[in-house]
Amino acid sequence: MPHMPATGVSGLDLYVKADDGRWRWLGVGQPQENKTNTSTLASGLPEGRREFLLYLPLYNGVRPPSRPFGCPSGVSSVELGVPEGRVVDKTAARTEGRRKPIVFYGTSITQGGCASRPGMVHTAILGRRLDRPVINLGFSGNGRMEPEMATLLADLDPAVYVLDCLPNMLAAEVTERVEPFVRTLRKAHPETPIVLAEDRLYSNGTVLPGPRKRNADSHAALKMAYDHLLAGGIKGLYYLPGAVQLGDDGEGTVDGSHPTDLGFLRMADAFAPVLTEALKQASEKSRRPAVR
């Protein structure tokens, strides 16, 4: 991927919970060789127990030594070492209200293209800010809301669904697929909030009419589907406009489409209020006494 740093494609990213209770970046494992890498993520840590988050690569993966033809390339194993006398334990479970994950379903942007480090994709930033597990179902070149994917996502039990598929969908596909997709999720999860996100604006769309029209057409189709779902009695829906996601200066992408770290930080800033409100409403519903 010529437009994405190797540290994002194949690196490891380590965060630590600091004394102020916030997640802080600690170190990155930089890929140096084609097949085998050894990297020190952190050294010289003071004595004491700390909580860590280790993010795996955004694109590279672990595969069997003899992979089937056509499978993505990857490595056969990943090992984590600590100095003699140090111990790695499982972290304590989150509190009851924060155990359910946020599920993001989308495209290469959701997957993390083109963050410089795995921890810089907006889904990871939001996971740290909201102290929530995140399931990132971003698929490069895909994320087109096929009905089979709705059935698979309905098997999950998240705190919130975030549907962010418009970068890989034309307006006609949005019109055809969004409403059935949402209804499938709502049938399986009557109370779970669902966020419908417009795609970010193409950075060159301020000048080029083609990208601008594609954004406008798909946004209009998504807004129509959202309004129709509301009119049909579907509750717990949230809508995130695309214009607020990358800023208005055109500096948030590497290619007009995929965010840089700046773009992902801005996306996290745009998603955070919507997710905070959705999580708040979901929490209030879960505390209501059952009606007999």
Q: How large a percentage of the chain has pLDDT more than 90?
A: 78
pTM of the model as a whole: 0.92
Mean pLDDT of 153-166: 97
- pLDDT value at residue 258: 98
Q: Is the pLDDT of residue 286 over 90?
A: no
33-53 pLDDT tens trace: 877 888 999 999 988 999 999
Mean pLDDT of 216-239: 98
How would you write the chain as a 3-class SS string?
A: CCCCCHHHHHCEEEEEECCCCCEEEEEEECCCCCCCCCCCCCCCCCCCCCCEEEECCCCCEECCCCCCCCCCCEECCCCCCCCCCCCCCCCCCCCHHHCCCEEEEECHHHHCCCCCCHHHCHHHHHHHHHCCCEEEEECCCCCCCCHHHHHHHHCCCCCEEEEECHHHCCHHHHHHHHHHHHHHHHHHCCCCCEEEECCCCCHHHHCCHHHHHHHHHHHHHHHHHHHHHHHCCCCCEEEECCCCCCCCCCCCECCCCCECHHHHHHHHHHHHHHHHHHHHHHHHHHHCCCCC
Mean pLDDT of 18-32: 94
- pLDDT value at residue 72: 54
Q: Is the pLDDT of residue 7 over 90?
A: yes
Q: Among 80-89, 136-145, 249-258, name the one with the lowest average pLDDT.
A: 80-89
Mean pLDDT of 209-213: 97
Mean pLDDT of 259-278: 98
- pLDDT value at residue 288: 65
59-99 pLDDT tens trace: 988 776 665 555 555 557 888 999 888 989 998 877 777 78
Domains and CATH numbers, the chain: 99-286 (3.40.50.1110)
- pLDDT value at residue 33: 81
